[in-house]
Amino acid sequence: MSNLNIPKHYSTEKPFIWTDSLAVVLLRDTLKRDVEILRDYPRPSDIKTLYSASRNVVLREMMLPSDNFLAEHLHMLISDKLFNGFYTDSLRNFMQEHFYRNFQDTIILRDGSGLSTYNKITPRNMVDLLLAIRDLEPEEAKRFLFFPAGGIDGTLKNAYTLDQGEAFVWAKTGTINSVHCQSGYIITRNGKRYVFSFLNNNYVVPTSYIRREMVRIVTFIRQNY
């Protein structure tokens, strides 16, 4: 204990160090009953899965606000579904063997959200992916629900303005330190459809500069092609 007076508006943060033994202590204290850690507990053979929302609802919830936490959860759930456990290394190997080999360039992804400098991908791969999504869902109205619409919702709500009263770009963004990316679909005034991908990195200017330049280029394509 300290006898010093705490300054007004003083705040401090301390990390929460999680351990199995700490969880047991906290649960015993809260539940007022005995709690033990189960070791080598076999998974029941008759386990059932309860689904609370449709796939499309979950994907839209992840994509529009760019919910990386939800992306990581889906990563773990898919691993559990395929390998009966959170074996993400096995999932990465599975994706490399069955999906990534179909892309033009090498892909290395270390997590579900993309928030890692260990992830390696190219704009050409992103275009390949968007074209693959188009083939899986040819109906634009349904496919575009998974992407923020420029000037309307999600992470592109304030980035773009409507052109002739309508949205013309549907895209996913991604941002970490000195990296800002945007990939998606464009519909031009002439009705042409394009897929695009910007992967900007190692810049030292504010991200808003990068964002404005992408918006300028995409808007130019909309109005002139």
Domains in the chain (CATH in brackets) are 122-225 (3.40.710.10)
Query: Closest Cα to residue 125, out of 155, 146, 92, 102?
Result: 102
For residue 2, what pLDDT is reported?
Answer: 66
State pTM to two decimals: 0.77
Q: What is the mean pLDDT of the chain?
A: 90
Could you give the percent of the chain with pLDDT greater than 70?
A: 99
For residue 39, what pLDDT is reported?
Answer: 80
For residue 176, what pLDDT is reported?
Answer: 86
Report the pLDDT averaged over residues 42-50. Answer: 82
13 has a pLDDT exceeding 60: yes
147 has a pLDDT exceeding 60: yes
Confidence of residue 41 (pLDDT cuts 50, 70, 90): confident
Could you give the percent of the chain with pLDDT greater than 90?
A: 60
Measured in degrees and rounded to the nearest 5, phi and psi for residue 138 equal -65, -25
